[in-house]
């Protein structure tokens, strides 16, 4: 009884390190995808706020020329924002992702308002195989 072991054996330490390695191998990619989804959602939130202003401006007969005309900054930490009206009367509000990881570096979220007033949202430019990173309300096409 006097020779009781104090501390951990080498095998116990190796098992602990292996378990931590396995957990890290699973957690790090999941966390990276979480960060990408959060970035996409933040971009969507930034352009979605312009929809109400577009409706007000169109109802008042005002012209929408750019993002500033609907109260949005042209560039933010998440997006380069554009707003335009096509010759057909269709309105586009877009967010081209900025400061984004490789999977979404070319991603673009676009709200489109049809002449009848219906809004639709699509995402383009996400790397193939990662389409699920697009916001749920704005699927990749």
pLDDT tier, 2 (very low <50, low <70, confident <90, very high otherwise): low
Q: Which residue has the tokens 């008042």?
A: 60
Q: Where are the domains of the chain?
A: 10-133
Residue 45: CB atoms within 10 A of its CB come to: 14
pTM over 0.85, yes/no: no
Give me 89's structure tokens: 């009367």
Give me 82's structure tokens: 């554009």
- Which architecture does CATH list for 10-133? 2-Layer Sandwich (3.30)
pLDDT tier, 1 (very low <50, low <70, confident <90, very high otherwise): low
Q: Measuring CA to CA, which residue among 122, 119, 97 is closest to residue 110?
A: 122
């Amino acid at each position: 009884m006097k020779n009781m072991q104090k501390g951990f054996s080498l095998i116990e330490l190796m098992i602990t390190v292996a378990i931590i390695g396995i957990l890290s191998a699973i957690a790090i990619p999941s966390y990276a995808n979480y960060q990408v989804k959060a970035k996409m959602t933040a971009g969507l939130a930034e352009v979605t706020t312009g929809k109400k202003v577009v409706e007000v401006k169109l109802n008042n007969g005002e012209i929408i020329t750019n993002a500033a005309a609907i109260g949005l900054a042209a560039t933010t930490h998440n997006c380069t924002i554009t707003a335009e009206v096509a010759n057909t009367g269709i309105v586009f509000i877009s967010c081209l992702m900025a400061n984004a990881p490789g999977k979404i570096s070319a991603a673009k979220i676009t709200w489109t308002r049809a002449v009848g007033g219906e809004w639709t949202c699509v995402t383009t430019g996400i790397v193939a195989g990662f389409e699920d990173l697009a916001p749920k309300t704005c699927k990749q096409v």
